[in-house]
Amino acid sequence: MNLKEQEYMLALGRHGSLTGAAQELWITQPTLSVFLNHLEESMGVQLFQRVGKKLVPTAAGREYLACAHQMELMKMDFDRKLSQFVREDRGILHVGSMRHRNLYLFPRLIRNFQNIHPGIQVILHDSSPTDLEKMLKDGDLDLILTNQPVENPSLSVRPIYEDRLGMVLGAARAAKLGHHGNWERNMQYLDLREVQEDLFYILPRPHSVRLIAESAFHYMGIHPAHVQEVSNIDLGCQLAAENLGAAFTMESYYRYFSYPKPTKCFFVGDPKLNIKWSIAFRKKATVPSYMKDFMKLLKEQMRDVNLREFYSR
């Protein structure tokens, strides 16, 4: 399937200049200029306005680019189907998730996956849940792992794991609590009112852990007096490990992270509040067998493998 015309137009739309688009397409600028002039003449409408040195799409041009993008997505799906008919021993899988998941979940998962499919390259992308969903919808990713609701009707969603908010304390601080709360999934529940005078390390907005932690404060009806923002979960938990305060994390993340000094993690907040992790992919996209295997391994690792390893510590 040859979409040369659409590829040229999309390059012009991305760069807004003949020079940048020509460099991307590996053709000369005059060749691209002639192409654009001929296309506009054949269509009887101007597709780009020349504003100084910049090309700005007209209303007709924007409509063309939108259709060309859809054609490009259709071509990508067709190429994927074609490659599935031919063979499935070579390919690239673009996977998106948040940075901490990429660091601590995927390296072992990719190793296990490539034991099954050594010819499939997995490329990881990290960004915010909102950006990941847009990249998936636009065809830049094959699947994403997210803990945010996915409401776009063009995406298929498969829940794989229910997570809980956790609070990390250093071993010495935890011992002072003399806590004997209920045990669940090898962790205890802690009433935040017992530590409300502590210093809380908390992520800045709009991080999801920050929002969930605030809901936990609200659920317990407390307004902590000592709160300090930290740039990432790792830093907050390392400070807590030094018995300098309390830090919030997610249960699944805590199970992967190791600390130089002993720590203890408690469930906090609303006991009924579970954060759902899901896999999402485009409904109309072809799902090759190796992508199905990757999703199966991801589900197993999130639900089973990490829990067994954590319980055996």
The superfamily in CATH containing domain 165-267 is Periplasmic binding protein-like II (3.40.190.10)
Identical fold at 4-82 and 165-267? no
Q: Residue 181 pLDDT > 60, yes or no?
A: no
3-state SS, residue 127: coil
- CATH code reported for the domain at 4-82: 1.10.10.10
pLDDT at 85: 54
Averaged pLDDT for residues 278-303: 88
pLDDT at 92: 85
pLDDT at 252: 82
Q: Are 103 and 132 in contact (CB under 8 A)?
A: no
Task: pLDDT band for 113, please (50, 70, 90 cuts).
Answer: very high
Q: Which residues partner with 247 through β-bridges?
A: 168, 201
pLDDT at 272: 87
Q: Are 163 and 252 in contact (CB under 8 A)?
A: yes
pLDDT at 149: 86
**CA dihedral (229, 231, 234, 239) positive or negative:** negative
Q: Residue 75 pLDDT > 90, yes or no?
A: no
Averaged pLDDT for residues 205-212: 86
CATH of 89-163+275-311, one of 3.30.450.20, 3.40.190.10, 3.40.50.2300, 3.40.960.10: 3.40.190.10
pLDDT at 286: 80
Averaged pLDDT for residues 101-117: 86
Domains of the chain, by residue range, sit at 4-82, 89-163+275-311, 165-267
Task: pLDDT band for 306, please (50, 70, 90 cuts).
Answer: very low
pLDDT at 300: 86
Give phi and psi for 293, each to the nearest 5: -65, -40
Mean pLDDT for all residues in the chain: 86
Q: Residue 128 pLDDT > 90, yes or no?
A: no
Task: pLDDT band for 165, please (50, 70, 90 cuts).
Answer: very high
Task: pLDDT band for 312, please (50, 70, 90 cuts).
Answer: very low
Residue 176: burial class (beta carbons within 10 Å; 0-12, 13-18, 19+): exposed
Instruction: Report the C-alpha gap between 21 and 23 in whole angstroms.
Output: 5
Residue-wise pLDDT tens digits, 9-32:
888 888 988 889 888 889 888 898
Instruction: Report the C-alpha gap between 5 and 88 in whole angstroms.
Output: 29
Averaged pLDDT for residues 79-95: 74
Q: Residue 52 pLDDT > 70, yes or no?
A: yes
Q: Residue 108 pLDDT > 80, yes or no?
A: yes
Q: Which residue has the higher pLDDT, 133 or 313?
A: 133
pLDDT at 311: 36
Instruction: Report the C-alpha gap between 113 and 298 in whole angstroms.
Output: 9
Averaged pLDDT for residues 216-235: 92
Q: Residue 295 pLDDT > 90, yes or no?
A: yes
Averaged pLDDT for residues 76-98: 77
Averaged pLDDT for residues 84-99: 77
Residue 183: burial class (beta carbons within 10 Å; 0-12, 13-18, 19+): exposed
pLDDT at 308: 40
Q: Are 285 and 94 in contact (CB under 8 A)?
A: no
Range with the largest mean pLDDT of 79-93, 95-109, 223-237: 223-237
Q: Give the global pTM.
A: 0.62
Say if strands 183-184 and 187-189 run parallel, antiparallel, or are unpaired.
Answer: antiparallel
Averaged pLDDT for residues 91-95: 89
